[in-house]
A and B are shown apart, each in its own frame.
Chain A
């Protein structure tokens, strides 16, 4: 669906069901340079099981208008504005990669508004490889190719997509190339590289939090994810083996299983906003 946030049009997938304000809201926040489509194997489940779902395209990404936001802090405030714009008082947040930094910062800034936090492939800081950052800022498609290479685990490189007929690396690559690389990936990578508040933000989070990490994640390795999780009070950690950074697609079913268990327990669907 399309709606306005701060005067700009935003697109969000509602997971194939009409947006229904009587149901609790889950917001999914994608990673650098990507779009709402990365969440298709998680969002539709929740939309069909009692939740209102918004898999948002960040400004300047996917089908959303406007320019990409330049800092994680701005993105965090924007996600909070999304909740207001759709008429909710609170929501559960799910983030992947850069989306983890955004949702974590948002949760730290809005302790009453954010009810649960689910982080996939997250870390307290995501410093960028200088070569990758430079390629992305110079609009070089090699940035996307490198990201797809590093983002997929050994098994993901062979394929075996959970949806018959889809090929992981080319699909992800095409998503990241759907808008101008430097204006999406380039801006996002710079925002990740500049963000230094992750560990401090983590210490402020007191809501139920789940970290899903993958043993083959070269971009946000398990030890970095655990370091972050240790700072979040009562944080739960789930590790997916034989999988890379794109766990939400590479091992969609296993990820959905742990996410489902966490959200249903801590943010039940029968809760009326």
Chain B
């Protein structure tokens, strides 16, 4: 086992920017097409009945039906797995379906999850209201309450879930510490790293076992396509205890297959595809997969600009007379500033939360008067986006839940785009001027 040419060198495996462009795709197997082809098809010819049986029995790799897998989508899956440092990935029709599929692959009725309280509003509702309908209960813990995660674990707890940087308050989960708590309990840590993308943080390096993304956001980056993905780290030992019988024992749902024995570091993804995509079917369209691939090609370039613009906006907002407070991990007095330096060395992300003086009315006036920034329910677009969570993304929460999620009525969520920074600031000035007007009127 000698490679004379490589003596004394580091591995020559491709690095992040190269993988962003090439991973998961071999042109010579696709008519030499330099760009990834869009396989716009529902199904795939079998050579003969033996070939068909082989595919259904997982005797060999390949595609059967595009709900289960598709060649264009598979390129995206491999590309994201490679960027995250994971063993395998499964793309879905949205970030929410990636979370749902992850939970349904992990849990049975009667199981329990420990969940960070600071999450996207839709995710909160999934864990708080929808999953209990399937017999899966959740205990919410504030993201900075590391000990609270430990205390919340029960005998039937099957995992810990959280957003690395919570939406929208920018509170960080102490991922390395919480992963230790999860692993001591023999359960996996699942991290939604949508805000970071693998360019800013690779959660597997900090103890996460499964990563989920809404690819709709920074990964695709252009606000054009819905997509999600779950990625497997490959390190979690499903056989260490008896908590995951559908992973570790012959599973009636798939020809008596023991996923952990047969597929080891890719077992979770294999089960999520074989069972979850078959039975729930939240498949990603090949066109959307291709759009996301286009976005990922420029992920590094865009994230650098997103982060530098965000840092400029943080400075601008901190100095602004109309701003009551600014929350971004780059701010020195942010409670998670030091943790962010460790977990997010390439940049602290482009999500900023700030409080506008004048409360809810001022917030509404600001949102209604900015012209360049788009008021919409998305983040991670190339364009700057703003929303008032209390009346938008988190509007389905009652007062108590809003407070528990760390939200306030004066909060504006800003997703900084990659426009010229001066134009973003000028637009905000228009918004702030309008926000000051109602108060002047009411004072008269």
Q: Do A and B come from one complex?
A: yes
Given A127-B2, A131-B8, A166-B88, A256 and B60 contact (CB-CB distance below 8 Å) = yes
B236-255 contact mask (Cβ, 8 Å, vs A): 1 or 0 = 00010000000000000001
Given A166-B266, A167-B87, A161 and B57 contact (CB-CB distance below 8 Å) = no
Instruction: Mark out the residues of chain B between 3 and 26 whose CB falls within 8 Å of any chain A CB in the assembled complex.
Output: 3, 5-8, 10-14, 22-26
Given A131-B8, A150-B6, A170-B85, A159 and B25 contact (CB-CB distance below 8 Å) = yes
User: Contact at B255–A242, with CB atoms within 8 Å?
Assistant: no
A86 at the binding interface (Cβ < 8 Å) = no
User: Contact at B77–A170, with CB atoms within 8 Å?
Assistant: no
Q: How many residues of B contact A (CB 8 A)?
A: 61
Q: Which bucket holds chain A's interface residue count?
A: 35 or more
Nearest residue, chain B, Cβ from A170: B87
User: Contact at B53–A48, with CB atoms within 8 Å?
Assistant: yes
User: Contact at A165–B89, with CB atoms within 8 Å?
Assistant: yes
In angstroms, how far is the closest chain B Cβ from the Cβ of A202? 18
B58 at the binding interface (Cβ < 8 Å) = yes
Q: Which of A32-40, A67-75, A102-110, A203-211 contacts B (4 or more CB under 8 A)?
A: A32-40
Nearest residue, chain B, Cβ from A145: B11
A44 at the binding interface (Cβ < 8 Å) = yes
Q: List, in ascending order, chain B residues with CB within 8 A of A45's CB.
A: 54, 59-60
A132 at the binding interface (Cβ < 8 Å) = yes
- A35 to B265: give the CA distance in the assembly, Å: 11
Q: List, in ascending order, chain A residues with CB within 8 A of B71's CB.
A: 164
User: Contact at B3–A44, with CB atoms within 8 Å?
Assistant: no
- A150 to B273: give the CA distance in the assembly, Å: 30
User: Contact at B1–A170, with CB atoms within 8 Å?
Assistant: no
Among B10, B11, B22, B239, max chain A CB count under 10 A is at B11
Q: List, in ascending order, chain B residues with CB within 8 A of A158's CB.
A: 14, 22-26
- A182 to B256: give the CA distance in the assembly, Å: 35
User: Contact at B74–A170, with CB atoms within 8 Å?
Assistant: no
- A133 to B86: give the CA distance in the assembly, Å: 26
Q: Which of B61-69, B118-126, B290-298 contacts A (4 or more CB under 8 A)?
A: B61-69
B29 at the binding interface (Cβ < 8 Å) = yes
Instruction: Mark out the residues of chain B between 62 and 104 whose CB falls within 8 Å of any chain A CB in the assembled complex.
Output: 62-63, 69-71, 73-75, 77-79, 81-82, 85-91
Q: Which of A21-29, A111-119, A171-179 contacts B (4 or more CB under 8 A)?
A: A171-179
Among A16, A97, A189, max chain B CB count under 10 A is at A16
User: Contact at A16–B58, with CB atoms within 8 Å?
Assistant: yes
In angstroms, how far is the closest chain B Cβ from the Cβ of A54? 13
In angstroms, how far is the closest chain A Cβ from the Cβ of B259? 11
Q: List, in ascending order, chain A residues with CB within 8 A of B261's CB.
A: 11, 13, 63
Q: List, in ascending order, chain A residues with CB within 8 A of B78's CB.
A: 159-161, 165-167
User: Contact at B264–A164, with CB atoms within 8 Å?
Assistant: no
Q: List, in ascending order, chain A residues with CB within 8 A of B60's CB.
A: 41, 44-45, 162, 252-253, 256
Nearest residue, chain B, Cβ from A1: B261
Partner of B82, one of A126, A159, A178: A159
- A149 to B78: give the CA distance in the assembly, Å: 17
User: Contact at A171–B273, with CB atoms within 8 Å?
Assistant: no
Among A63, A146, A148, A174, max chain B CB count under 10 A is at A174
Q: List, in ascending order, chain A residues with CB within 8 A of B88's CB.
A: 165-167, 171
User: Contact at A162–B28, with CB atoms within 8 Å?
Assistant: no
A155 at the binding interface (Cβ < 8 Å) = yes
Nearest residue, chain B, Cβ from A11: B261
User: Contact at A171–B58, with CB atoms within 8 Å?
Assistant: no
B425 at the binding interface (Cβ < 8 Å) = no
User: Contact at B11–A148, with CB atoms within 8 Å?
Assistant: yes
Q: List, in ascending order, chain A residues with CB within 8 A of B87's CB.
A: 166-167, 170-171, 174
A218 at the binding interface (Cβ < 8 Å) = yes
User: Contact at A44–B1, with CB atoms within 8 Å?
Assistant: no
B234 at the binding interface (Cβ < 8 Å) = yes
A128 at the binding interface (Cβ < 8 Å) = yes
- Beyond the given A164-B61, A219-B1, please list 19 additional residue pairs across the A-B interface where CB-CB is below 8 A: A13-B262, A40-B263, A41-B59, A45-B60, A48-B57, A128-B2, A129-B3, A160-B78, A164-B70, A165-B74, A165-B78, A165-B266, A166-B81, A167-B81, A170-B86, A174-B234, A174-B264, A218-B3, A242-B28
What residues of chain B have their CB less than 8 Å away from a CB belonging to chain A?
A: 1-3, 5-8, 10-14, 22-26, 28-29, 53-54, 57-63, 69-71, 73-75, 77-79, 81-82, 85-91, 234-235, 239, 255-257, 261-266, 269-270, 273
Closest 5 A-B residue pairs measured CB to CB?
A: A162-B61, A163-B61, A174-B234, A164-B69, A174-B265
15 pairs across A/B with beta carbons < 8 Å?
A16-B59, A45-B54, A45-B59, A63-B261, A129-B2, A148-B13, A160-B24, A164-B62, A164-B70, A165-B269, A167-B23, A170-B234, A171-B266, A174-B235, A218-B3
